């Protein structure tokens, strides 16, 4: 495994309206939601992303790669390809793709469970799902990278 993949990583769950973000440490194999940025007409809120990158100073970026159940590209995949290119050019950091199939459903299920057990009291927003999905994507990527 390359040395660079052992530091802080920021993950993105790309959506047409919002992009969920999470941060995690490779050595700990865990991730936490950190926020959401707007994505207006295909233009992410770059100043907000800049702030997250400056705050967390990641060694690597991880982007959820949207595929169908049978591993085919989705309609949004070409937008994600463009986002990855812009991330790479803008920050000069390694950008990794991570399978994001079912991450949003898993995030919704986890939030529902938290509400049923009393761990979560407030109403759930789309941003909550997006940021938790980003955390799940990052943890999944950590697990895959650890196996290699």
Instruction: Read off the pLDDT of residues 117-145 as tens digits, 9 standing for 90 and up.
Output: 665 555 656 666 788 889 989 988 888 88
pLDDT score for 54: 97
**Region 23-27: what's the mean pLDDT?**
91
Options 3.40.50.20, 3.40.140.10, 3.40.640.10, 3.30.420.140; CATH for 3-147 is 3.30.420.140
pLDDT tens digit sequence for 29-85: 889 999 999 999 889 999 999 999 999 999 999 999 887 667 677 677 889 999 999
Ranges of each domain in the chain: 3-147
CA–CA distance, 10 with 141 (Å, rounded to integer)? 11
Quick one: which of 11, 4, 8, 2 has its CA closest to 138?
Answer: 11
Per-residue pLDDT band at 103 (split at 50, 70, 90): low
């Amino acid at each position: 495994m390359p040395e660079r993949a052992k530091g802080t990583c920021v993950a993105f769950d790309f959506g047409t309206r919002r992009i969920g973000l999470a941060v995690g440490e490779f050595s700990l194999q865990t991730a936490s939601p950190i926020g959401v940025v707007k994505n207006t007409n295909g233009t992410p809120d770059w100043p907000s992303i800049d702030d997250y990158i400056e705050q967390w100073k990641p060694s690597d970026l991880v982007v959820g790669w949207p595929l169908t159940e049978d591993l085919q590209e989705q309609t949004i995949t070409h937008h994600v390809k463009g986002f990855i290119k812009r991330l790479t050019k803008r920050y000069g950091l390694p950008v990794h793709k991570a399978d994001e199939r079912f991450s949003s459903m898993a995030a919704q299920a986890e939030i529902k469970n938290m509400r049923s057990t009393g761990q979560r009291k407030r109403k759930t927003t789309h941003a909550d799902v997006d940021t938790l999905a980003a955390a799940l994507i990052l943890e999944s990527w950590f697990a895959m990278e650890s196996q290699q």
